[in-house]
């Protein structure tokens, strides 16, 4: 029976009312008295030496209040990488400074080297055009292979374009090499994981308000994790004491990773607000978003799969070049390594895995985590090479996968890539998929397509990801410079309703609906009496924000721990009210009762009592009913799934259309199935976008030639079929109290290889000898593959 | 955007007079000009809006059977008008999105002559006449290369007169991001001849594929152009399609247009 409230109920998202009615409050909606406007001057060349910047003409323009250049920030810190990755030989990664404004050199198109503050945006824009910079264009470093072999450096001071050369797991290297050398069959595939622009609907926006009376600051900004932003600004960049800086991220219109990071624009508006003692605001134009938001993916990989004569997997070995762009963004060093290499065993009982990643500086925008972050790259490599192996060996791709799955009785299972998968049932998921995908009917559907002059293909994949990021003790040993717990404060108000202050940030995930379902379920109250407060460092406990499908598994678990503390304190108060001891008190469905009696008090009465403690034994029970819990997971969670896609290809033009798409996922326990479905839909749209449409392109001079929606193709509703989504296989995570796993990235991880497998299958059905096409599978690429 | 003056005359002569002033520019639906101004790539000192001139709006059938469309008529009006022939209806229905179709005008589209725009193809293929405030220009003389037309400074398109083909078809292969034509082929079949105009493909802008026309005048069937191809060297090459692929699409879209008009 579907529930209509509490955990498991498909309650409609309460936040949607304000979003759909246009009454959300985004950063750009905030207007402050006496506010001023910042405009950034950005590099038009990919690589250039700044000889001089003459700001005098700009300073004399009407309305101009201040002009900044990189000179103004030489004495402050840089924006750091959050994770130290060492090379195989033990050398630490190269960490060139990332200044607030470019200084000495500009390093990518869009790199900001000056900023103008003026009374109006128009005046700031007019003045920005009068900044006369003498920038000598230098040859750009764009192609990763030439970046590694060449002598033209993005950062001269480090004398190389290689950030690190990482091996995972170095001790497994020899065994993996040997397994591949001695294998019965080895399938090799070279592929590109295409670079993407995140394209959150809301562009970045930052507004700084400095209060000279108290020497403190408020920063309103589009962030997925306000506390982390504050920490970075305070501890690394500007040195503003944390207690003097409040960071507020109100409604945020999508992030997909790109708003995890601290950006120079935030530091600039803060510094400017202090200098002119007035609020300073900036909102990115869409062009600025394209040029300066952290991009995603951008790997070039060679993967090998070794099999024995019975088609058992023996080893995966990969060599990858990963683009980090011109500067290290906060998570850029962990994304292509820990979040990628550790997943390279997939869902398979494979004894050997070795992953090598060389991360490369280029004169392009920084590249960082984007929906899935490293895991889509791992899944894509694995699931493409497995499909290719199935073709080479003439075996059914589903059978080959099933044969090599880790079996339910093998859990917990430590993979050859070093993760400890707690639970799963990959065959059961594949059963659900086969049911939905109607594989038996495929031959018939293919015939029908062929009769209409189209080629039809079927693509399958199975994926696993590591979510619930992340166990601090484990990641500490892997180079993390932060812990990745989260926190919740449960404040039961005197009148019995509840405010829950959380470290996670909601920007599309539906926390305001799902989190109350947990609290309501545990306390037996109406979810409408529970309010979620997030996105303001002055209100919420120190949590690490939202990314990596972590909010429910980590912050949701902190909520559970917090509510448990509330119940236990409530029992003390109830025991006092009912003249017994708390070990004799039960709590169920909102009622405290004395075991073995019919004595009860309601949760509301206990709450009121907590705040009107006239007869409290003050030495034993503090007044109030408010608890904070921090939760640090012991392990990642491991959502897994299997996807199927059918495509039609127009043999005359190479145009691909997606005819059907089915997704079967195991997300463990589910709090709100409707939100889960929505998350999967969104992820699938993004993954299909990557597979067929989206491609961020720099030319060899480093010009971004896909810098607007005229040239960068976003997926539209008409590009997508009606999705079949199934999450009936539920193996609850054994690690967190909710048994949840995370669902935000799954669709974007599992869908790209599914689509590509389907297109390759379609072409092979017409006897085209095609083994691979790089994404995005534009009509021209597919047509070229058919016509060599 | 830079500051500018905004004028909204109600007659053609007022508009023409206003356009005589230095750096004045006509504004149709603004679907091309406004984004360009927002990016500060255009900076007219005066915008002369043509949207309040009733003489420039609407669609009517002429005595000789041709159709006249006012230069200020929107794509949406063209798409929904009962007198519009099949190919033109499809063309107008598939320009941009609903917002673009409700603002953008036929006059603006033709005057702009974007190499990927749709209207130039139908104008050239039907042998339309572009009527301006001072003269009539045949489509064959009007289009003079990418973003270039026979219009003089300050000259405005009042209406466009289309001979009505016995059958017609517009086949548009969209550029996936912009949804403009990566290759668009408009085929018009008249009692005595067939004309094929291609947009989106050529570095020279919209053009008539005369070899295909000759072959179709011999024998109107998709197979009759099997051995023909356009010169790849003239084609546009960009991140969406190479010269070779565009040349291929010209042939495929032409064959589809032949079938569409059969
Ligand atoms: C998202 C988007 C998608 C689009 N997709 C397509 C598409 O698929 N196919 C397609 O063909 N087009 C497409 N367009 C372009 C659209 O059709 C525009 O309407 C058209 O290009 C310009 O018409 P306008 O009336 O908006 O002209 P404006 O933008 O107002 O003006 C354009 C130019 O024409 C001049 N001008 C305007 N009216 C006249 C006139 N009557 N006489 C002389 N000069 C004039 C102006 O001075 C200016 O130089 C798209 C546009 C957008 C924004």
A653 & A570 share domain: no
Rg of chain B on CA atoms, in Å? 18
Q: Does A709 touch chain B (CB under 8 A)?
A: yes
Chain A closest CA to B12's CA: distance in Å? 33
Which pLDDT score, from 0 to 100, does residue A5 have?
82
Query: In angstroms, rounded to a whole number, what is the distance separating the alpha carbons of residues A718 and B176?
Result: 12
Of A631, A650, A678, which residue constitutes the final position of a domain? A631
> Would residue A312 count as lying in a domain?
no
CA angle A317, A322, A323 (to 5 degrees): 170
User: Does A713 reach chain B within 8 Å, measured CB to CB?
Assistant: yes
Spell out which residues of chain A touch residue B31, defining contact as CB-CB under 8 Å.
none
Angle at A148 between CA A142 and CA A154, to 5 degrees: 55
CA of B223 to the centre of ligand 1 (A): 36
Using only the alpha carbons of chain A, give its radius of gyration.
27
Please check whether residues A390 and A512 belong to one and the same domain: no
Q: Which domain holds residue A608?
A: 16-22+485-631
B208 in any annotated domain: yes
Contact A684, A723 (CB under 8 A): yes
Nearest CA in chain B to A699: B239
The residue ranges of chain A whose pLDDT is under 50 are 1
Do A779 and B239 make contact, defined as CB atoms within 8 angstroms?
no
Helix spans in A478-556 (H): 511-523
- Asked if A682 and A709 sit in the same domain, the reply is yes
A442 plus A506 within the same structural domain: no
Q: What is the pLDDT of residue A257?
A: 97
Interval between CA B112 and ligand 1 midpoint (Å): 6
End-to-end CA distance of chain A: 55
Domain of B236, CATH number, reads: 3.30.390.50
Find the CB nearest B177 among A125, A287, A712: A712
Q: φ, ψ for residue A486 (rounded to 5)? A: -145, 180
Judged by DSSP in three states, A359 sits in strand
Give me the pLDDT at residue A2, please.
Answer: 55
A690 in B contact zone (CB under 8 Å): no
pLDDT at A4: 77
Task: Look at phi and psi of residue A43 and say left if phi exceeds 0, alpha if psi is from -120 to 50, else beta.
Answer: beta
Q: What is the CATH number of the domain that holds B41?
A: 3.30.43.10
**Residue B193: inside a domain, yes or no?**
yes
Asked if A780 and B177 come within 8 Å (Cβ–Cβ), the reply is: no
Domain shared by A619 and A656, yes or no: no
Q: Are residues A660 and A520 in the same domain?
A: no
What is the per-residue pLDDT for A788? 80
Distance CA A468, CA A91 (A): 29
| Cβ atoms A780, A654 nearer than 8 A | yes
CATH number at residue A690: 3.30.365.10
How many A from CA of A478 to the centre of ligand 1? 56
Q: Would B127 be classed as within a structural domain? A: no
Residue B206 lies in a domain: yes
Please say whether the beta carbons of A675 and A513 come within 8 A. yes
| Interface confidence (ipTM) of the complex | 0.96
Within this chain, do residues A612 and A676 fall inside the same structural domain, yes or no? no
Is B219 exposed, middle or buried (CB count within 10 Å of its CB: 0-12, 13-18, 19+)? exposed
How remote is the CA of residue B159 from the centroid of ligand 1, in Å? 15
Cross-chain residue pair A710–B177, CB shorter than 8 Å? yes
Tell me which residues have their CB closer than 6 angstroms to ligand 1: B 25-33, 50, 71, 95-96, 100, 103-105, 107-109, 111-112, 114, 117-119, 156-157, 179-180
Nearest chain A residue to B241, by CA: A780
pLDDT of residue A1: 46
| Helix (H) or strand (E) run with residue A354 in it | strand A352-361
Q: Which residue among B35, B108, B157 has the greatest number of ligand 1 atoms within 8 angstroms of its CB, and so is best to mutate?
A: B108
CA pair distance A319, B62, nearest whole angstrom: 70
Residues A447 and A535 in one domain: no
The three-point CA angle B25-B30-B33 to 5° equals 60
Question: H or E stretch including A232?
Answer: helix A226-232
| Alpha carbon distance A493, A498 (integer Å) | 6
Length of chain A: 788
Pull the structure tokens for residue B37. Answer: 């101004």
Domains identified in chain B, total number:
2
* Ligand 1 atom with least separation from CA of B31: 26
Helices (H) and strands (E) in chain A, counts: 20, 28
In contact, B75 and B157? CB cutoff 8 Å: no
- Return the pLDDT at A698: 98
Query: Which residue matches tokens 């083909």?
Result: B165
Kindly report the CA angle at A123 between A122 and A129, in degrees rounded to 5? 95
What's the rounded Cα separation, in Å, for the pair A782 and B245? 11
- Total number of domains in chain A: 3
DSSP H stretches of helix in A85-149: 121-128, 144-149
The length of chain B in residues reads: 262
Clarify whether residues A524 and A655 are in a common domain.
no
Task: Please check whether residue B132 lies inside any domain of the structure.
Answer: no
Domain match, A550 and A620 both: yes
DSSP, res A556: I
The answer for residues whose C-beta is within 8 angstroms of residue A130's C-beta and 6 or more apart is A57, A58, A61
CB neighbours of residue A211 within 10 Å = 14
Asked if residue A315 is part of any domain, the answer here is: no
Nearest to A653 among B3, B40, B173 (CB): B173
Q: Is residue B63 part of a domain?
A: no
Parallel, antiparallel, or unpaired for β B5-7 and B46-49? parallel
In a domain, B134, yes or no: no
> Which of A130, A653, A784 would you mutate first to test chain B, the one with the most B CBs within 10 A?
A653
Question: Is A179 within the bounds of a domain?
Answer: no
Asked whether residue A338 is assigned to any structural domain, the reply reads no
Report the C-alpha gap between A532 and A504 in whole angstroms. 10
Instruction: Judge whether A168 lies within some domain.
Output: no
Pick the residue from chain B with its C-alpha nearest to A653: B249
- One domain for residues A621 and A644: no
User: First and final CA of chain B: distance in angstroms?
Assistant: 48
DSSP string of A425-489, one letter each residue: -HHHHHHHHHHHHTGGGHHHHHHHHHHTT-EEEEEEEEEE--BS---HHHHHHTTBSS---EEEE
The verdict on residue A318 lying in a domain is no
Q: Report how far residue A726's alpha carbon sits from residue A220's, in angstroms, rounded to the nearest whole number.
A: 39
Dist. CA B25 → ligand 1 center (Å): 13
What is chain B's percent helix, strand, coil content, to nearest 5? 35, 25, 40
Measured from the CA of B105, which atom of ligand 1 is nearest?
25
Residues of chain B positioned with their CB less than 8 A from the CB of A783: 245, 248
Residues A391, A455, single domain; the answer is: yes
3-state secondary structure of B170: strand
Give the CATH number, domain containing residue A69.
3.90.1170.50
Give A655 Cα–ligand 1 centroid separation in angstroms: 28
- Whether residue B239 and residue A695 make contact (CB cut-off 8 A), yes or no, is yes
Domain boundary among A240, A272, A292: A292
DSSP single-letter state for residue A367:
B
Is there a domain that residue B49 lies in? yes
Distance B34 CA to ligand 1 centre (A): 10
A355: its two tokens: 């992953």
The predicted-structure confidence for B123-156, as pLDDT tens digits, reads as follows 999 999 999 999 999 999 999 999 999 999 999 9
Top mutation candidate among B52, B109, B149 for ligand 1, by most atoms within 8 Å of CB: B109
Q: What is the span of the domain harbouring residue B215?
A: 167-261
**Which chain A residues touch B4 with a CB distance below 8 Å?**
none
How far B102 CA lies from chain A's nearest CA (Å)? 20
pLDDT for residue B1 is more than 90: no
Would residue A329 count as lying in a domain? no
Distance (Å) from the C-alpha of residue B239 to the closest C-alpha of chain A?
Answer: 8
């Amino acid at each position: 029976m579907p529930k209509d409230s509490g955990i498991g109920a498909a309650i409609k998202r309460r936040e949607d009312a304000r979003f759909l009615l246009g009454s959300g409050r985004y950063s750009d909606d905030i207007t402050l008295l006496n506010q001023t406007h910042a405009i950034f001057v950005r590099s038009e060349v990919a690589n250039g030496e700044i000889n001089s910047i003459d700001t005098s003409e700009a300073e004399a323009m009407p309305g101009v209040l201040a002009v900044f250049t990189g000179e103004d920030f030489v004495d402050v810190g840089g924006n750091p990488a959050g994770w130290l990755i060492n090379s195989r030989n033990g050398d630490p990664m190269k960490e060139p400074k990332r200044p607030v404004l470019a200084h000495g050199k500009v390093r990518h198109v869009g790199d900001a080297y000056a900023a103008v503050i003026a009374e109006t945006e128009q005046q700031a824009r007019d003045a920005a055009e009068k900044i006369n910079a003498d920038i000598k264009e230098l040859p750009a470093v764009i192609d990763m292979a030439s970046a590694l072999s060449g002598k033209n450096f993005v950062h001269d001071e480090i004398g190389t374009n290689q950030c690190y050369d990482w091996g995972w797991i170095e001790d497994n290297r020899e065994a993996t090499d040997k397994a591949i050398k001695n294998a019965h069959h080895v399938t090799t595939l070279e592929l590109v994981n295409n670079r993407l622009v995140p394209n959150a609907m809301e562009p970045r926006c930052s507004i700084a308000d400095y209060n000279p009376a108290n020497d403190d600051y408020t920063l309103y900004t589009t962030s997925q994790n306000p506390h982390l932003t504050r920490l970075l600004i305070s501890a690394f960049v500007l040195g503003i004491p944390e207690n003097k800086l409040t960071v507020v991220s109100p409604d945020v219109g999508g992030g997909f990773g790109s708003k995890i990071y601290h950006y120079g624009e935030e530091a600039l508006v803060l510094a400017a607000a202090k200098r002119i003692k007035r609020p300073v605001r900036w909102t990115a134009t869409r062009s600025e978003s394209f040029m300066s938001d952290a991009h995603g993916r951008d790997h070039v990989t060679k993967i090998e799969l070794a099999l024995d004569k019975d088609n058992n997997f023996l080893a995966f070995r990969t060599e990858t070049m990963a683009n980090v762009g011109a500067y290290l963004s906060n998570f850029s060093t962990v994304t292509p390594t820990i979040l990628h290499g550790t997943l390279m065993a997939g869902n398979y009982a494979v004894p050997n895995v070795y992953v090598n990643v060389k991360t490369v500086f280029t004169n392009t925008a920084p590249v960082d985590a984007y929906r899935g972050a490293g895991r889509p790259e791992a899944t894509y490599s694995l699931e493409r090479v497995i499909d290719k192996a199935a073709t080479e060996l003439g075996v059914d791709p589903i059978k080959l996968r099933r044969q090599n799955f880790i079996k339910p009785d093998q859990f917990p299972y430590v993979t050859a890539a070093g993760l400890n998968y707690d639970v799963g049932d990959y065959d059961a998921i594949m059963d659900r998929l086969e049911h939905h995908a109607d594989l038996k009917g495929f031959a018939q559907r293919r015939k029908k397509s062929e009769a209409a002059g189209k080629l039809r293909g079927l693509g399958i994949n199975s994926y696993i990801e590591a979510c619930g990021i992340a166990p601090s003790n484990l990641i500490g040993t892997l180079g993390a410079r932060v812990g990745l717990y989260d926190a919740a404060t449960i404040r039961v108000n005197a009148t019995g309703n509840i405010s829950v202050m959380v470290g996670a940030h909601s920007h599309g995930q539906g926390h305001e609906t799902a989190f109350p379902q947990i609290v309501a379920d545990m306390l037996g109250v109406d979810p409408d009496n529970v309010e979620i407060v997030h996105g303001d460092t002055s209100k919420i406990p120190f949590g690490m924000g939202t990314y990596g499908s972590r909010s429910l598994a980590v912050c949701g678990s902190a909520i559970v721990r917090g509510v448990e503390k509330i119940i236990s304190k409530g029992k003390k108060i109830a025991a006092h009210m009912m003249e017994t001891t708390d070990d004799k008190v039960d709590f169920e469905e909102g009622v405290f009762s004395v075991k073995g009696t019919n004595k009860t008090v309601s949760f509301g009465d206990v709450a009121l009592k907590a705040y009107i403690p006239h007869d409290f034994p003050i030495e034993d029970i503090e007044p109030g009913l408010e608890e904070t819990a921090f939760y640090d997971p012991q392990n990642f969670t491991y959502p897994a799934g299997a996807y199927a896609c059918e495509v039609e290809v127009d043999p005359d033009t190479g145009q691909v259309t997606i005819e059907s798409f089915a997704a079967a996922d195991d997300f463990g326990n589910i709090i709100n199935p409707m939100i889960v479905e929505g998350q999967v839909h969104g992820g699938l749209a993004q993954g299909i976008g990557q597979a067929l449409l989206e491609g961020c392109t720099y030319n060899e001079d480093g010009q971004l030639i896909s810098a607007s929606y005229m040239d960068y193709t976003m997926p539209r509703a008409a590009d997508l079929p009606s999705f079949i989504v199934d999450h009936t296989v539920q193996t609850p995570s054994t690690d967190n109290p909710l048994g949840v796993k995370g669902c935000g990235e799954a669709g974007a991880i599992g869908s790209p290889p599914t689509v590509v497998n389907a297109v390759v299958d379609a072409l092979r059905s017409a006897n085209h000898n095609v083994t691979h096409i790089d994404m995005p599978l534009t009509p021209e690429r597919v047509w070229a593959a058919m016509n060599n | 955007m830079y500051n500018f003056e905004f004028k909204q005359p109600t007659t053609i002569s007022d508009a023409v007079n206003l356009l005589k002033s230095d750096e004045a520019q006509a504004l149709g639906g603004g679907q091309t000009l406004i984004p360009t101004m927002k990016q500060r790539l255009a900076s007219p000192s005066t915008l002369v809006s043509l949207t309040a001139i009733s003489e420039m709006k609407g669609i009517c059938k002429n005595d000789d059977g041709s159709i006249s469309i006012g230069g200020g008529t929107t794509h949406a009006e063209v798409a929904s008008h009962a007198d519009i022939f099949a190919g033109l209806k499809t063309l107008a229905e598939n320009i941009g999105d609903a917002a673009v179709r409700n603002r953008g005008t036929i006059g603006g589209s033709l005057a702009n002559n974007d190499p990927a725009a749709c209207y130039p193809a139908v104008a050239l293929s039907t042998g339309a006449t572009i009527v301006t405030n001072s003269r009539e220009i045949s489509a064959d003389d009007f289009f003079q290369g990418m973003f270039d037309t026979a219009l003089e400074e300050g000259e405005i398109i009042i209406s466009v007169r289309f001979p009505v083909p016995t059958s017609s078809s517009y086949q548009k292969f969209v550029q996936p991001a912009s949804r403009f034509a990566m290759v668009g082929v408009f085929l018009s079949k008249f009692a005595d001849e067939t004309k094929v105009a291609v947009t989106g493909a050529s570095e020279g802008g919209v053009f008539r594929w005369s070899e295909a026309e000759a072959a179709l005048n011999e024998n109107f069937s998709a197979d009759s152009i099997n051995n023909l191809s356009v010169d790849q060297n003239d084609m546009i090459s960009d991140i969406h399609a190479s010269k070779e692929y565009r040349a291929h699409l010209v042939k495929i879209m032409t064959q589809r247009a032949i079938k569409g008009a059969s």
